[in-house]
């Protein structure tokens, strides 16, 4: 088959190509974990702790075990004979954490026993029939009180509930020990400052709330000694590695599959107890088992995000020059360290350099155990917290000095000629050009017009405020030096018979649209139609190697691996093409891909179709000397550094004087994520991120009472942002490519959550500034705002 005189193919990179994934997703034709049904499959239900902290005195499983159709009831202590403590992915000391509690429970929702039964309803009935008696212990809820002598402690060996303590200063740090030898420059900077702002701020705890809850199906086949695990995960290859390790299997004996995954936002990076338990119990009962999380379990047991308390001091000169930062951060990490728990808050301090020349920094971090659900990554993962603290503090300095919030930022920007720029925390920003981005945002927003509009509204007695933030974030995780599982990505590109292309990626999209963007890249690379390309992902038996999708890495790392593999496959196609054109004495180096053909550059008449070259590659008669048949190539891409996208967000809010309700009137986001493959998808990523960042600013918060009982464990009390709460976003971008990968793309998945949160809070503070308000804690609950209007001060 040939494509003789086929139509000219438009270049697709940079085009707003509609997501190829969406028709199946919105028509109910996609396969999620819960759609997987295997013959003889049994169902799991977990008996979970209803207290926050206590010693398990007894577990009576007799009534549950006696129910007809119940295959097995097993307690945590019994299960520990089959499953050791769960591995984590950080180098920090961590207490043992079993999939199912063995002797003590440390948060509401922690599993204490598991039922295996014929159906899901029966499994739940049996779990409810399990009787557990506890000796209750005082709940540790406040992370500051948790560190005081005399507080109850969660874990032996972790005095005062402290999991991690770190300290670094901006000057005089011994790089070998990371200990400060002399950070007197920090004290000097503050002593010499004209203005110092000091603020305690809470970046509150959030529940990720992916639309699809977690779920797992595990099938251990004893005859093959082979385990298959389907899971709603962001990273099937990491799942394979860790499940294999805990099951005592080799990776060659485990296949992990992430079928369609309905959102992750970071909470599906962690490998959870339920995944290990399903694998172990499938082996024990010799049948496939399934567990699907319900929404209550999602609130109680899927990792939470954020929950950082910051004591922030920022020093500046009268002209607005920032001269020093002190940040003392207390992270409430909940009851255990899971996969990346302890690492996330370390990113907060690292990113608190922001986009500024910051001469001196002192950063202290304490991570504290409390009787709450463990924390881990949540969209932005450490960076939103840091940028929130910094951008609030910069705004406070501007207010103190009576400076325009845009101008104080402009004054302190790292200038474009200082890139690559080494921060106080040891990061090296790859590229940046901040001022044009600021100017574009000011222009799109009509900043002066907004200020005039605000002032006019105030003159009418309305309560209106305008806010701005400027963020930089770290994306494209990698490299391997900082990711314990490896920081590379892998891709395979196969040109099939007939000239169609199948590619695999170790990035594991769960909403990011890589089936579209990656196909756009290959369509341009080979100059073939988008429809001729299939992108496969999420199955370790199909995708040879991989790391996964998190840290805005799919495009910057996964895309780079793809293009590298495509390059290899393309080279081989050109060799076969040249072999088909020996009579014309064509060299592979002279060939290019053009409109479905492989042709001599500038001479379309000297060409073969892509399809006929592909067919020849699989029936290579004669086989060109030195060549193997077929075209199936793979590549790993190891980034040498991270990428550092940035952006400027501007918002306008109005507060109802009677009720304290805050309405977001405008949000303008100008983001720079480097080169853009698909502007439609990038806009979509920004939209979603903005909604979540605004959700944190205005609505969302996980609340526990003094006994460690969750107060917000359903959508009746946990406030999610709704479309009607959001204005029509005004988006634009600047483009500063990264030199770190051949695409020049930086990553955009988390950007929206990072800039929008401080931007909206800055606007709310501006709105209430006439009432003497200098800071407002999130979320902007109506009652909180109402009190500030009536009482002034801070909340």
Partner 1 sequence: MIPTAFEYRRAGSVAEALSLLQEGGPEAKLLAGGHSLIPMMKQRLAEPGLLIDIGGLDELRGIQEDGGEIAIGAAMTHAEIAASDVLRAQAPIVAETAANIGDAQVRNRGTIGGSLAHADPGADLPAVMVALDATIALLGPNGERKVQAEDFFQDILTVDLAEDEIVTGVCFQACRSAAYAKLEQRASKFALVGVAAALSLDGGTCSSARVAVTGASSHAQRLSGVEGALAGASLPGGAADAASGAGDALDFVNEDLHGSEEYRRAMTAVFARRAIEAAAGRS
Residues that bind partner 1 (CB under 8 A): 45, 120-121, 124-125, 128, 294-296, 658-659, 661, 699, 703, 711-712, 714-720, 781-783, 786-787
Picking from 236, 170, 210, the residue whose alpha carbon sits closest to that of residue 509 is 236
The minimum distance between CB 755 and partner 1, in angstroms, equals 23
Neighbours of 43 (CB within 10 A): 20
The minimum distance between CB 657 and partner 1, in angstroms, equals 10
The minimum distance between CB 146 and partner 1, in angstroms, equals 22
Looking at residue 81, the DSSP 8-state letter turns out to be: T
CB nearer to partner 1: pick between 43 and 106: 43
CB nearer to partner 1: pick between 192 and 783: 783
| Residue ranges with strand state E in 223-374 | 226-231, 254-257, 289-292, 305-316, 322-334, 361-369
The minimum distance between CB 305 and partner 1, in angstroms, equals 18
d(CA 707, CA 349): 31
CB nearer to partner 1: pick between 582 and 659: 659
d(CA 39, CA 253): 21
Q: In this structure, are residues 567 and 636 in contact, taking their beta carbons and an 8 Å threshold?
A: no
447-459 and 434-445 are packed helices; what angle lies between their axes, rounded to 10 degrees?
40
Report the run of H or E that residue 789 belongs to, with start and end. Answer: helix 782-791
**Residue 725: which residues within 8 A CB-CB, separation 6 or more?**
664, 694, 698, 699
**Residue 138: which residues within 8 A CB-CB, separation 6 or more?**
53, 152
**Residue 150: which residues within 8 A CB-CB, separation 6 or more?**
none
CB nearer to partner 1: pick between 69 and 436: 69
CB nearer to partner 1: pick between 654 and 683: 654
CB nearer to partner 1: pick between 448 and 790: 790
The minimum distance between CB 716 and partner 1, in angstroms, equals 4
The minimum distance between CB 118 and partner 1, in angstroms, equals 14
**Residue 393: which residues within 8 A CB-CB, separation 6 or more?**
197, 199, 312, 313, 314, 325
76-83 long-range contacts, CB within 8 A, separation 24+: 76/100, 76/101, 76/102, 76/103, 76/111, 76/112, 76/113, 77/102, 77/103, 79/114, 79/277, 79/280, 82/280, 82/283, 82/284, 83/246, 83/247, 83/276, 83/277, 83/280
The minimum distance between CB 68 and partner 1, in angstroms, equals 13
Picking from 352, 469, 354, 355, the residue whose alpha carbon sits closest to that of residue 416 is 355
The minimum distance between CB 209 and partner 1, in angstroms, equals 12
CB nearer to partner 1: pick between 435 and 661: 661
CB nearer to partner 1: pick between 190 and 718: 718
Burial of 477-507, coded b for 16+ CB within 10 Å and e otherwise, reads bbbeeebebbbbbbbbbbbbeebbbbbbbbb
- Report the SS3 class of residue 668: strand
- Cβ-in-10-Å burial (0-12, 13-18, 19+) of 568 comes to middle
The minimum distance between CB 123 and partner 1, in angstroms, equals 8
The minimum distance between CB 460 and partner 1, in angstroms, equals 19
The minimum distance between CB 703 and partner 1, in angstroms, equals 6
CB nearer to partner 1: pick between 98 and 699: 699
CB nearer to partner 1: pick between 232 and 243: 232
CB nearer to partner 1: pick between 213 and 639: 213
């Amino acid at each position: 088959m040939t494509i003789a005189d086929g139509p000219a193919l438009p270049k697709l990179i940079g085009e707003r190509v509609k997501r190829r994934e969406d028709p199946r997703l919105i028509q109910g034709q996609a396969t999620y974990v819960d759609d997987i049904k295997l013959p003889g499959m049994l169902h799991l239900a977990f008996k979970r702790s209803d207290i926050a902290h206590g010693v398990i005195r007894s577990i009576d499983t007799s009534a549950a075990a006696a129910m007809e159709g119940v295959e097995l009831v097993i307690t945590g202590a019994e299960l520990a004979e089959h499953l050791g403590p769960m591995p984590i992915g950080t180098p920090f000391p961590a207490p043992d954490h079993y999939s199912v509690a063995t002797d003590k429970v440390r948060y509401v929702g922690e599993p204490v026993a598991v039922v295996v039964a014929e159906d899901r309803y029966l499994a739940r009935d049996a779990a409810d029939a399990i009787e557990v008696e506890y000796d209750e212990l005082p709940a540790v809820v406040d992370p500051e009180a948790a560190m005081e002598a005399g507080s109850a402690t969660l874990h032996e060996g972790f005095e005062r509930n402290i999991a991690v303590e770190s300290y670094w200063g901006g000057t005089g740090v011994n790089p070998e020990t990371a200990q400060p030898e002399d950070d007197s420059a920090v004290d000097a900077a503050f002593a010499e400052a004209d203005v110092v702002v000091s603020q305690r701020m809470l970046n509150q705890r959030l529940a990720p709330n992916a639309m699809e809850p977690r779920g797992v199906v595990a099938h251990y086949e004893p005859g093959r000694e082979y385990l298959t695990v389907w899971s709603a995960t962001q990273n099937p290859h990491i799942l394979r590695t860790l499940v294999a390790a805990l099951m005592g299997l080799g990776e060659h004996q485990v296949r992990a599959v992430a079928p369609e995954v309905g959102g992750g936002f970071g909470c599906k990076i962690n490998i959870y107890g339920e995944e290990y338990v399903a694998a172990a119990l499938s082996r024990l009962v010799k049948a496939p088992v399934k567990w699907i999380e319900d929404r209550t379990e999602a609130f109680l047991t899927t990792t939470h995000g954020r929950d950082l308390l910051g004591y922030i001091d920022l020093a500046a000169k009268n002209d607005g020059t920032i001269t020093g930062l002190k940040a003392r951060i207390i992270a409430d990490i909940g009851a255990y360290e899971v996969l990346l728990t302890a690492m996330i808050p370390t990113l907060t301090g690292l990113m608190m350099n922001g986009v500024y020349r910051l001469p001196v920094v002192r950063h202290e971090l304490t991570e504290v155990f409390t009787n709450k659900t463990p924390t881990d990554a949540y969209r932005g993962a450490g960076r939103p917290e840091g940028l929130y603290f910094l951008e609030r503090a910069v705004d406070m300095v501007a207010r103190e000095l009576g400076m325009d919030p845009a101008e104080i930022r402009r004054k302190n920007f790292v200038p474009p000629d200082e890139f690559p720029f080494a921060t106080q925390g040891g990061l090296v920003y790859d590229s940046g050009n901040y001022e044009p981005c600021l100017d574009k945002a000011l222009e799109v927003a009509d900043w002066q017009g907004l200020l005039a509009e605000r002032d006019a509204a105030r003159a009418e007695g309305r309560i209106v405020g305008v806010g701005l933030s400027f963020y930089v974030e770290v994306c494209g995780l990698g490299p391997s030096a900082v990711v314990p599982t490896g920081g590379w990505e892998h891709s395979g590109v196969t040109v099939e018979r007939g000239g169609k292309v199948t590619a695999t990626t170790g990035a594991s999209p769960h909403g990011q649209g890589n089936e579209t963007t990656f196909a756009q890249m290959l369509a341009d690379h080979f100059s073939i139609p988008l429809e001729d390309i299939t992108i496969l992902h999420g199955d370790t038996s199909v995708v040879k190697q991989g790391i996964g999708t998190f840290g805005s890495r799919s495009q910057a790392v996964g895309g780079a691996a793809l293009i590298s593999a495509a390059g290899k496959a393309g080279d081989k196609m050109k060799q076969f093409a040249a072999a088909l054109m020996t009579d014309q004495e064509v060299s592979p180096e002279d060939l290019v891909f053009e409109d479905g053909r492989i042709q001599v550059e500038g001479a379309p008449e000297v060409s073969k179709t892509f399809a006929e070259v592909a067919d020849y590659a699989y029936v290579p008669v004669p086989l060109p000397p030195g060549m193997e048949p077929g075209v199936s190539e793979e590549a790993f891409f190891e980034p040498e550094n991270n990428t550092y996208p940035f952006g400027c967000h501007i918002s306008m809010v109005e507060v109802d004087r009677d009720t304290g309700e805050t309405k977001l009137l405008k949000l303008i986001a100008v983001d720079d994520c480097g080169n853009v493959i698909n502007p439609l998808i990038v806009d979509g990523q920004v939209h979603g991120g903005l909604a979540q960042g605004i959700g944190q600013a205005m609505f969302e918060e996980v609340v526990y009472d003094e006994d460690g009982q969750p107060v917000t464990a359903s959508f009746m009390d946990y406030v999610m942002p709704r479309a009607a709460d959001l204005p029509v976003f005004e988006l634009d971008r600047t483009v500063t490519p990264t030199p770190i990968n051949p695409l020049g793309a930086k990553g955009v998945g988390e950007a929206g959550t990072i800039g929008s949160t401080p931007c909206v809070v800055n606007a709310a503070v501006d709105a209430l500034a006439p009432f003497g308000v200098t800071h407002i804690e999130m979320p902007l609950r109506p009652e909180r705002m109402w009190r500030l209007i009536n009482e002034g001060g801070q909340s």
